[in-house]
């Protein structure tokens, strides 16, 4: 500290300068730890419902697969690769977002589930399935591992919604059905029931053909658990291994802001009955939710409407992800 310029010592004092430098050094260490060891992410969209809900905050283990240079995405050492069914964070591949969104101080990162591994032959089969007396479609995923001659499948089974749809903050997802899909060694929830034909929208329509499509070496196929509303490998192709940053590990906090379901009187009613659930009349809606379609700024909307209606999902804190 004696070597600091005299004018700095005169203004702040030696002890103050020493404390400030120590503080910034600690902040630097924390940011380096976050950058390369244990990152914190929030979930802004519903593509991974119901596994990850809008408003979830999760820890991501960034050392699970590789060691990266702090404050960069440069890989120093790779010692493992994602497994089938892992939930991972990754840099969006070309075509998934605009170049501007991938760069800058707050670059866009995706969270999806690994559906296919390098060398897999993937085949998505539309299975006509009946739920509650109505026909629906399940996109059953079949895969043939590299070197194999037979397809295996991620089998699925019906699941009742129970209270799992009560706090999704997504009035579109509740219109569909809940399933459990099986992966090697575990199973997880999936929202399905999409009847719209999306084959032509897929970047490689071969995945919907009888022969399927082959994932290139060093690439992975990603999909969201909310199959009805997920921008994923079905639409923008496969993800290079270099883009994969870490594995989602734990939900450490969760807030239901009710931004997308504020018009409905009861979360339980919405979860069970979809858009036929009771809504507030226009006057009640404005008093409880504000004029969502207006140009009201984010700060004012949050203070007067979002915070009063928000709900902390205490039951999700500490949830280990698989």
Beta bridge partners of residue 78, listed in sequence order: 66
Query: How is residue 48 written in tokens?
Result: 């991974």
Length of the chain: 322
Which residues make Cβ contacts (< 8 Å) with residue 157, sequence separation at least 6?
179, 180, 182
CA distance 96 to 102: 10
Beta bridge partners of residue 136, listed in sequence order: 129
Question: Beta strand pairing status for 87-90 and 75-78?
Answer: unpaired
Query: How is residue 116 written in tokens?
Result: 């296919």
Q: Is 4 helix (H, G, I), strand (E, B) or coil?
A: coil
Q: Is 173 helix (H, G, I), strand (E, B) or coil?
A: helix
Query: Would you name the residues annotated as active-site residues?
Result: 47, 112
Output Rg (C-alpha) for the chain, integer angstroms.
23
Cis peptide before 226 (omega within 30 of 0): no
């Amino acid at each position: 500290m004696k070597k600091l310029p005299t004018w700095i010592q005169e203004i702040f004092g030696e002890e103050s300068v020493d404390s400030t430098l120590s503080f910034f050094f600690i902040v630097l260490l924390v940011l380096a730890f976050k950058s390369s060891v244990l990152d914190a992410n929030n979930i802004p969209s519903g593509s991974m419902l119901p596994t990850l809900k809008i408003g979830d905050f999760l820890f991501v283990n960034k050392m699970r697969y590789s060691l990266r240079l702090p404050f960069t995405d440069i890989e120093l050492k790779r010692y493992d690769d994602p497994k089938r069914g892992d939930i991972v964070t990754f840099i969006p591949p070309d075509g998934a977002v605009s170049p501007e969104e991938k760069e800058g101080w707050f670059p866009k990162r995706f969270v999806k589930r690994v559906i296919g591994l390098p060398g897999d032959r993937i085949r998505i089969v539309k299975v006509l399935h009946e739920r509650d007396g109505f026909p629906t479609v399940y996109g059953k995923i079949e895969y043939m591992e590299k070197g194999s001659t037979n397809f295996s499948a991620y089998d699925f089974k019906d699941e009742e919604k129970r209270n799992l749809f009560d706090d999704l903050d997504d009035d579109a997802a509740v219109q569909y059905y809940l399933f459990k899909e099986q992966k090697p060694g575990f199973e997880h929830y999936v929202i399905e029931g999409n009847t719209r034909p999306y084959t032509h929208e897929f970047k490689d329509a071969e995945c919907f053909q009888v022969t399927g499509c082959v994932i290139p070496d060093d690439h992975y196929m990603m999909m969201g658990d909310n199959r009805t509303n997920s921008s994923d490998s079905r639409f923008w192709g496969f993800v290079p291994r270099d883009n994969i940053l870490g594995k989602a590990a734990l939900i450490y906090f969760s807030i239901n802001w009710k931004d997308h379901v504020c018009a409905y009187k009861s979360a339980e009613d919405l979860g069970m009955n979809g858009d036929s659930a009771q809504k507030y009349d226009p006057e009640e809606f404005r008093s409880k939710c504000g004029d969502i379609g207006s140009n009201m700024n984010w700060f004012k909307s949050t203070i007067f409407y979002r915070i009063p209606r928000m709900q902390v999902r205490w039951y999700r804190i500490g949830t280990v992800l698989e």
